[in-house]
Amino acid sequence: MKKRGPLFLLFISVVLLLSGCSSNLLVLDPKGPVARTQSNTIIFSMIVMAVILLVVYILYVFVLTKYRATKANEGYEPPHEEGNKWLELTWTLIPVIIVIVLSVVTVRTTNAVEKVPAGYDNEKPLVIYAASSNWKWHFSYPEEGIETVNYVNIPTHRPVEFRLYAYGPIASFWVPQLGGQKYAMSDMVNTLNLVAESPGSFMGKNSNFSGKGFAHMEFEVLGMSPTDYTKWVDDVKKTAPKLTETEFDKLLNTELVGRKSYSSTHLSFRPAPEGENAGHHHGKANSTDNMDNMNMDDMDMSNMDHSQHE
Amino acid sequence: MKINSNVPLEYSTEENSNKILGFWLFLGAEIALFSTLFATYFTLWNRTGNGPTGHELFELNGVLMETFLLLTSSFTCGLAIHAMRHGFKKATMVFFAITLVLGLGFLGVEITEFVTYVHDGATVSTSAFLSSLFVLLGTHGLHVSMGILWGAAIMIQIKRQGFTAETTNKSFIFSLYWHFLDVVWIFIFSFVYLKGMM
Amino acid sequence: MNLDKFLVKGEPMIYAAMVSIVVASLAILIGLTYFKKWGYMWREWLTTVDHKKIGVMYIIAALLMLFRGGVDALLMRAQLAMPENGLLDAQHYNEIFTTHGVIMILFMAMPFIIGLMNIVIPLQIGARDVAFPRLNAVSFWLFMAGAMLFNISFVVGGSPDAGWTAYFPLASLEYSPTVGNNYYSIALQIAGIGTLLTGVNFIVTILKMRAPGMKLMRMPMFTWSVLITCVIILFAFPVLTVALALMMFDRMFGGQFFTMANGGMDMLWANLFWVWGHPEVYIVILPAFGIYSEIISTFSKKNLYGYKSMVVSMVAISLLSFLVWAHHFYTMGHGAMVNGFFSITTMAIAIPTGVKIFNWLFTLRKGRISFTTPMLYSLAFIPIFTIGGVTGVMLAMASADYQYHNTMFLVAHFHYVLIPGTVFAVIAGFHYWFPKMFGFRLNEKLGKLAFWFIAICFNITFFPLFFLGLNGMTRRMYTYSEGSGFGPLNMLATIGSVGLAIGFVILVYNVYWSFRYAPRDTTGDPWDARTLEWSTHSPVPEYNFAITPNVKGMDAFWAAKKENQPLYEGKIEPIHMPNNSGQPFILGVIFFFLGFFLVFSMWVPAIVTGVGVVIMLAWRSFERDHGRHISVEEIIETERKLGGDTV
């Protein structure tokens, strides 16, 4: 009996892969430097993996076609083979080399995407607090003194520093075309640096399951030219109502709301969990002091408390 | 039943030595269990919320008392096994009895301590620190309680049956367990109480 | 008492489930009474301490759970087939994917593997039973108590709804107020104790009960894989037990471990969960590797290539499995350094895994490969699992993972690992060892038909998910909009899942058909296999081997057949066997009720049942049961009846 399943599979995967790449898969259609780094990393790893798959598949098909039991080889007694030191060393060392290469790529790109993207590091970033609550997103612009719900407008070609935290369950802030996600949690603030390099509307969402309304936690990120952006900010300041504490509490307790705009932020009366009483300060690139948060010993997380002394 | 007379009675049958190996493995799992509880405690120990810190809460006297009782009980437990190896039934019984009484004493002090904490308003729901403290100490205390029941059951069996391959095996395994609880306590004493009081 | 607290109402599906549970239970009760099988059930199954029967019970339970988890899966796929579908509401969908995950991992994959372990390991090492047969029965009944407790949550009180990972604060009382997550924490603790005891039992069995001459480096690969797995169980499961206990404290006793106020730390749960959770993946994968090694070697008619490096790579995987847990939450924000470290350890696992893949391929090389049903599953495993493996390496790269995390890409990846890895393996092992359990083979034609359905439809179901993930579809969303463009690929996946379901139905029909019509195997060695379990009769007599085999090398039975080395030397002696006991079953029942009362915070009955547990322990302690001996005459008679030639 011939086994065509895997061949067929390989064929399908190649076809789907090609068609997939040509259409616009969001992750592979980046609109900013962070997402571009990630998209390149993904495509690079896909190519490496395709080569590995190909080697395995060729060997596999060869072995299966050549050594299957047939009438012709009846009576053939397969030899006893203990193994071969050199062959086994080969298929240990080549993967080791591949893993080293991938490790270098990973460490470099991970560092790159945690930082303000190269080329933008001299600019003062626009700080936006993004807080999740069941089940919506609140965006506060402390410098501009405005706040929006379920949509966020950003100027293009300017680094944006999203500071993420949550009212309630863990959420994950994700705008696939601008960059990968990061968690928003209740007892600390995470930082995510993004830049949009072309104007347009980008889909953003919570990607971490947070209960019943989770599927509806989408928001729009609108990249605008700097002039349009300033105009929009002025507009909001002029026309939108102030965000009072009661209004904010009402917002928190409403499960699903549409878009909202306010001409003040909730940060004054409900500050983000940072500063003295906050938990960790994560997400800063190269923060070596965080290394001991994750002790290598599986049973020992004894050092987790160190950053509390900050 | 095959009996190997070159080794102590508690090891003498295949089943016996299997049980001892099995129990060592189980203690390996117990180490993993307590390590996790310690890791949790160390993660949360200064997250005291609005509740008291360890420094405010811990009293040296009670803790020293507990330590003394449990360490001594571990010693007498060792003596009991030593007596058992020499076939001294009465001495074994007496040492086991002392061990269990000391264990009860330990529990008594620990319960008093818990009552004091709760009386001072430090309960399991006061803060993350107290949750982890109570669960760590409570798990150890529960182990001691189970150990006392188990030890008592073994004493009854020795009294009835004398030293057989079975009863000596059980006694030996019990002693492993008891020494283990002692070791855990030493960690609690050093890393929870002493560290907390400093 | 107010029944509203217990019964979930208002959903046709729940009513259907209630009715079916009642009907099925009644059918079992009436059937047992009608055929006067109560005594048989009690004597032969409920009280058994025989590793083979316990193994069969594990597998039956696992198959039942496979169908429960499978129905969950079909419901999810049906809901996602079209945008804005209204089949399930959010709450329902959340419960279903939660139970799907928990059941498939803990109540399907684990017991299936433990079942095969039970049946095969003592036979493979030439032992008469496991080291602690009574404890083995306790393990099984604790698992069963946990599984039943978890399953009744669907109709009594409500299922857990915070995902199988039950992240806090979502799983806290505040955000998940039903008793669902109480079930989660308590049922898993009970079943987890059973698993831990299995781990201890099998380590001792393998280390101490091997037949004379079977050195460690002569053990069959499946035995090796189980030994290593049990070591992982030993160190991983206590972490789960603690995590679940803390969860229980938070939900039921006002604990503040993972809360948002009073110093609690939600990240601690994620860490504890995955310190167990990642090794758990290898707990279900390593025995699968062992099963494949046996089958590939048998049906290539060759010894396993690179035996030593196979063992070394499994040890390496088991060590690394404890060093990678944080890759499940790179996005928690612990900085580039930490993420880099965990990326590298994670990718390093690919190295020993790759070694194994190549060793299997080289076992096939120069072999004479026959495509039996178990072999088909094993062969399909290699290319499909490799996809799972390489996508795993892609996910391991932290920077890229920020884009894959929580998406359908991840869902596709772990199904590509767990289904060809674990599910194919247990099905392959089930077909392979079936004649050993029951004395006849499953029908090959039906087996192959089921295989092709499963292998092809698996890919149709899960391959599209890679693309959905890259296109921004996250996991666990119960609905999506038309405009998202997720519709067509989801429909494709749903169609595939139906085919997958058909495959499993054929598989079960095959069991039924073969029970009725398959020719009996009288040789005990229908596959012309290599290891000791095939050297005794099928089905295996309760004492396994009339004479303890004498092992002189690797693949002892093969050597015995090819080189006429005598395997059984010496004469038949009386065999010491343990007595059956009802205690493990009773203990399981008590634990079930203890768990139930705890779930509903009914303290008085909980304390009473808790005392019951202590009484059971005391009963066991004071019991003096030295087992029994099977006489030489009886053994000779049994051997004669089974057509034995070992005498």
Q: Is the peptide bond before A135 cis (omega within 30 degrees of 0)?
A: yes
Q: Tell me which of A266-270, A302-306, B184-188 is least confident.
A: A302-306
Paired with A138 in beta bridges are A131, A149
Largest CA distance in chain B: 63
For A38, the closest of C383, C403, C463 (CB atoms) is C403
Residue A285: band (very low, low, confident or very high) from pLDDT cuts 50, 70, 90: very low
- Return the closest-CA partner of residue A195 out of A235, A225, A164, A155: A155
CA distance C572 to C636: 8
Q: Is pLDDT above 50 for A300?
A: no
Paired with C345 in beta bridges are none
ipTM score of the complex? 0.95
Question: What are C145's two structure tokens?
Answer: 């108590």
Q: What is the reported pLDDT for C257?
A: 95
More confidently predicted of A121 and C404 = C404
Q: What are phi and psi of A79, to 5 degrees?
A: -75, 160
Mean pLDDT of chain A: 85
Around Cβ C371, how many Cβ atoms within 10 Å? Answer: 18
Q: What is the reported pLDDT for A8?
A: 55
- Return the closest-CA partner of residue B136 out of B195, B184, B83, B97: B184
Q: Is pLDDT above 60 for A2?
A: no
CA distance B46 to B129: 6
Q: Is the peptide bond before B150 cis (omega within 30 degrees of 0)?
A: no
Helix (H, G, I), strand (E, B), or coil: what is residue A148?
strand
- Return the closest-CA partner of residue B175 out of B195, B155, B156, B151: B151
Query: How confident is the model over A127-150, as pLDDT tens digits?
Result: 999 999 999 999 999 999 999 999
Contact at CB, A302 and B47, closer than 8 angstroms = no
Paired with A200 in beta bridges are A223
For C300, the closest of A78, A168, A206 (CB atoms) is A78
Would you give the distance in Å from CA C361 to the centre of its chain? 26
Q: Is pLDDT above 80 for B10?
A: yes
Query: How confident is the model over A30-45, as pLDDT tens digits?
Result: 999 999 999 999 999 9
CA distance C130 to C121: 8
Contact, A283 vs A114, CB < 8 A?
Answer: yes
Identify the chains in contact with A, defined as 3+ C-beta pairs within 8 A: B, C
Amino acid at position A169, single letter: P
Question: What are C302's two structure tokens?
Answer: 């060759």
- Partners of B45 on chain A (C-beta within 8 Å) are 305
Probe site for chain B from C210, C239, C242 (most B CB atoms < 10 A): C242
Q: What is the reported pLDDT for C31?
A: 83
Q: Calculate what percentage of chain A has a pLDDT beyond 70.
A: 81
Which residues are within 8 A (CB) of C182 and not within 5 positions of it... i.e. 6 or more apart?
C248, C251, C252, C598, C599, C600, C601
CA distance A298 to C271: 10
Residue B102: band (very low, low, confident or very high) from pLDDT cuts 50, 70, 90: very high
Domains of chain B by start residue, with CATH: 20-197 (1.20.120.80)
Q: Calculate what percentage of chain C has a pLDDT beyond 90.
A: 84
Which residues are within 8 A (CB) of A227 and not within 5 positions of it... i.e. 6 or more apart?
none
Residue A9: band (very low, low, confident or very high) from pLDDT cuts 50, 70, 90: low
Query: How confident is the model over C373-414, as pLDDT tens digits?
Result: 999 999 999 999 999 999 999 999 999 999 999 999 999 999
Around Cβ B108, how many Cβ atoms within 10 Å? Answer: 13
For B35, the closest of A300, A303, A304 (CB atoms) is A300
Paired with A191 in beta bridges are A163
Helix (H, G, I), strand (E, B), or coil: what is residue C163?
coil
CA distance B92 to B99: 10
Q: Is pLDDT above 60 for A264?
A: yes
For A170, the closest of C266, C386, C464 (CB atoms) is C266
Q: What is the reported pLDDT for C7?
A: 66
Q: Is pLDDT above 50 for A192?
A: yes
Which residues are within 8 A (CB) of A304 and not within 5 positions of it... i.e. 6 or more apart?
A293, A295, B42, B43, C268
Q: Is the peptide bond before C133 cis (omega within 30 degrees of 0)?
A: no
Q: Is pLDDT above 70 for A301?
A: no
Question: What are C644's two structure tokens?
Answer: 């034995």
- Return the closest-CA partner of residue B122 out of B46, B53, B41: B53
- Partners of C305 on chain A (C-beta within 8 Å) are 81, 83
Cα angle: C343, vertex A14, C293; to 5 degrees: 60
Identify the chains in contact with C, defined as 3+ C-beta pairs within 8 A: A, B
Would you give the distance in Å from CA B80 to the centre of its chain? 16
Q: Is C579 on the interface with B (CB under 8 A)?
A: no
- Return the closest-CA partner of residue A217 out of C96, C167, C474, C410: C474
Element containing residue A160 per DSSP (H, E): strand A160-167
Query: How confident is the model over B39-66, as pLDDT tens digits?
Result: 999 999 989 988 899 889 998 899 999 9
Query: How confident is the model over C83-139, as pLDDT tens digits?
Result: 999 889 999 999 999 999 999 999 999 999 999 999 999 999 999 999 999 999 999
Q: Is pLDDT above 90 for C39?
A: no
Q: Is pLDDT above 60 for C230?
A: yes
Angle, helices C603-622/C583-599, rounded to nearest 10 degrees:
160
Q: What are phi and psi of B186, to 5 degrees?
A: -60, -40
Q: Name the burial class of residue C408, with classes exposed (0-12), middle (13-18) and buried (19+) by CB atoms within 10 angstroms of its CB.
A: buried
- C 230-289 residues with CB < 8 A to B: 234-239, 241-243, 245-246, 249-250, 253-257, 259, 261-265, 268, 272, 275
Q: What is the reported pLDDT for C365?
A: 94
Radius of gyration, CA atoms only, chain C: 25
- Return the closest-CA partner of residue C463 out of C496, C487, C488: C496
Helix (H, G, I), strand (E, B), or coil: what is residue B172?
helix
Q: Tell me which of C2-16, C159-173, C464-478, C595-609 is least confident.
A: C2-16
Query: How confident is the model over C409-444, as pLDDT tens digits?
Result: 999 999 999 999 999 999 999 999 999 999 999 999
- Return the closest-CA partner of residue C205 out of C447, C581, C544, C432: C544
Residue B6: band (very low, low, confident or very high) from pLDDT cuts 50, 70, 90: confident
Q: Is B13 on the interface with C (CB under 8 A)?
A: no
What is the chain B residue with the closest CA to A279? Answer: B47
Q: What is the reported pLDDT for A290?
A: 37
Q: Is pLDDT above 70 for A255?
A: yes
Average pLDDT over residues C576-593: 95
More confidently predicted of A76 and C457 = C457
Helix (H, G, I), strand (E, B), or coil: what is residue B133?
helix
Mean pLDDT of chain C: 93
Average pLDDT over residues A165-173: 95
- C 466-525 residues with CB < 8 A to A: 467, 469-472, 474-480
CA distance C377 to C452: 9
Helix (H, G, I), strand (E, B), or coil: what is residue A219?
strand
Count of positions (residues) in chain B: 198
Query: How confident is the model over C57-86, as pLDDT tens digits?
Result: 999 999 999 999 999 999 999 999 999 998
Around Cβ C226, how many Cβ atoms within 10 Å? Answer: 32
Contact, C292 vs C425, CB < 8 A?
Answer: yes
- Return the closest-CA partner of residue C382 out of B170, A306, A6: A6
Probe site for chain A from C403, C419, C555 (most A CB atoms < 10 A): C403
Contact, C211 vs C532, CB < 8 A?
Answer: yes
Contact, C384 vs A163, CB < 8 A?
Answer: no
Query: How confident is the model over A80-105, as pLDDT tens digits?
Result: 998 889 999 999 999 999 999 999 99
Counting Cα atoms < 13 Å in the Cβ hemisphere of B92 gives 24
Cα angle: A212, vertex A213, A218; to 5 degrees: 150
**Predicted TM-score (pTM) of this structure:** 0.93
- Partners of B38 on chain A (C-beta within 8 Å) are 302
Probe site for chain C from A18, A28, A29, A107 (most C CB atoms < 10 A): A107
Question: What are A270's two structure tokens?
Answer: 């409900």
Q: Tell me, what DSSP letter sits at residue A128?
A: E
Domains of chain A by start residue, with CATH: 5-66+90-114 (no CATH), 126-275 (2.60.40.420)
Paired with C113 in beta bridges are none
Query: How confident is the model over C318-337, as pLDDT tens digits?
Result: 999 999 999 999 999 888 99
Alpha helices for C261-334 (secondary structure H): 266-300, 307-320
Owner of token pair 């395997």: C567
